[in-house]
Structure 1
Amino acid sequence: MTLSARWHDLVDRLADGVHLLAVSKGHPATLIRQLAELGQQDFGESRLQEALPKLEALADLKGLRWHFIGRLQANKVRGVVRSFAVIHSVDSLALAERISRIAVEEQCCPQVMLQVKFRDDPSKGGFSQEQLKQAWPDLIQLSHLQLIGLMTMAPIGLSLEQRQELFGQCRELADQLGLPDCSMGMSGDWLEAMHAGATWLRLGSLLFGARSMAKSSSVDDINAV
């Protein structure tokens, strides 16, 4: 199946209010351009160093919206704030405060998803539910963040039913906090995430196929999709 056919098939299967985030990390700008020509506007990258040349190569496509989905290191915040409209992986109050402070300096206001862990998983960052509730009064005071939703990933080893239950917990917590969006569901569990209330599906291999570029082992890739 061609890239175009895969994209059309996925878009046709999306429920109302559910958006496809094309995870383009590991794939060249030429493929992103192909999808953009079909109408795809939202693309996800997890490494700033890899993303910046693509953003430059595709600068003529004014309708693109770039989402940062990787683990965000403190020394990369300014670059991400400058280049990405949406950040899916804000996993601590300290990181949120740094993003807001730099956003003031850069005169922008990025949209932010707060990363939450609903199961113990040492390989991934994120707030616990209790940590998020404790930090919430401080988070909503940050003037240069648009808090729009929660992001979560299911640990390896869960069944599809367990993943859907986890995704349902994320949707429930987002609703409690008055957040409209849930970024959850990847190529192996996107249907379960959609049925549980996801509004953003992060799809990479299901859409693009095998990665065209060399895979990085950087910690920036920990939220790989």
Structure 2
Amino acid sequence: MDEIERGAYRAQLRSRREEILQRIDEAARASGRQGSEVGLLAVSKTVGPLELRLAWEAGFRAFAENRPQELSRKLEAARDLAGVRFDMIGNLQTNKVNQVIGKVELVHSVSSERLADAIARRSLARQITTRVLLEVNVSGEASKSGFAPEELEGGIEGMLDLEGIEICGLMTMAPKGMPDEARRCFFGLRELRDGLRARTGLGLDVLSCGMSDDFQIAVEEGSNLVRLGRTIFDPNYVPKQG
């Protein structure tokens, strides 16, 4: 990518960011909140270090990766970028935990008690606390990982006393291309959070849901952390309205 191409791509990223923030603000206001209450994660898993740096130059500060090896590569590329943060959003195998903890702000994809225990034990051994979200399969799709809502309702107590992790909230993914189902999914996550919060006393302040095609719906239903990839990085992606 030559300097002219870099400039054009940077300008596009900046334009996309402004448009996304406007759409987040509109959706947040529809649910009685401010857009500033909703965090924006740029999912950089499909782009290289150069595109990530250009995104930082365009104003993005929070990024997300789904593989430990790629996370390490991006961290190395971004080590001189001020204010940058990374989250882990992909399925995490227990034997890869040490490649992630201590390097990210938040692990979104704690999908089992076994994984929660592994993160807790290895974090405790390193004398750190890892902030995590519990992944919930609200839609019930067989292709998706995560706790079933009823499973989490019955089993969250087993994770409450784990030292080395801080359970900060919940994460989910909605069915693709089905706006009504997505809305039900996001509403269900918020309802589940409210019930768990009342029962356990945990704040569970973070609701991570909403991707490129459905983030406005997610924000309307209570999401305060959206994970956007294509709508940021793909020049050919046509943002969906509404």
AA partner of residue 129 (structure 1): P
Number of corresponding residues: 210
Of 228, 233, 241, which residue of structure 2 is paired with 1:203? 228
Of 9, 18, 27, which residue of structure 2 is paired with 1:8? 18
Using the alignment, how far apart are the partners of 2:158 and 2:142 within structure 1? 25
* Residue aligning to 2:3: none
- What TM-score, normalized by structure 1, do the two folds share? 0.88
Query: 1:45-93 CA distances to partner (integer Å, 9 max, x unpaired)?
Result: 0011112111012111242111100001111111111322210000001
Using the alignment, how far apart are the partners of 2:82 and 2:16 within structure 1? 24
AA partner of residue 188 (structure 1): D
* Residue aligning to 2:190: 171
* Residue aligning to 2:168: 148
Of 135, 140, 143, which residue of structure 2 is paired with 1:123? 143
Residue ranges of structure 2 left out of the alignment (5+ in a row): 1-10, 29-33, 198-203, 237-242
Using the alignment, how far apart are the partners of 1:9 and 1:30 within structure 2? 22
* Residue aligning to 2:79: 59
* Residue aligning to 2:105: 85
AA partner of residue 193 (structure 1): A
Of 197, 207, 231, which residue of structure 2 is paired with 1:182? 207
Paired residues of 2:120 and 2:163 also in contact (CA < 8 A): yes
Identity in percent: 38
* Residue aligning to 2:180: 161
Query: 1:12-36 CA distances to partner (integer Å, 9 max, x unpaired)?
Result: 3323211111101011122222222
Using the alignment, how far apart are the partners of 1:83 and 1:183 within structure 2? 19
Paired residues of 1:66 and 1:85 also in contact (CA < 8 A): yes
* Residue aligning to 2:216: 191
- What TM-score, normalized by structure 2, do the two folds share? 0.82
AA partner of residue 16 (structure 2): R
Q: Between Structure 1 and Structure 2, whose CA radius of gyration is higher?
A: 2
Structure 1: 4+ residue segments shifted above 6 A:
none
* Residue aligning to 1:219: none
Paired residues of 2:12 and 2:235 also in contact (CA < 8 A): no
CA RMSD of aligned residues (A): 1.7
Query: 1:128-171 CA distances to partner (integer Å, 9 max, x unpaired)?
Result: 112111221121111211111110111346x2012101100101
* Residue aligning to 1:22: 42
Paired residues of 1:174 and 1:181 also in contact (CA < 8 A): no
AA partner of residue 105 (structure 1): A
Secondary structure of the 1:81 match is coil
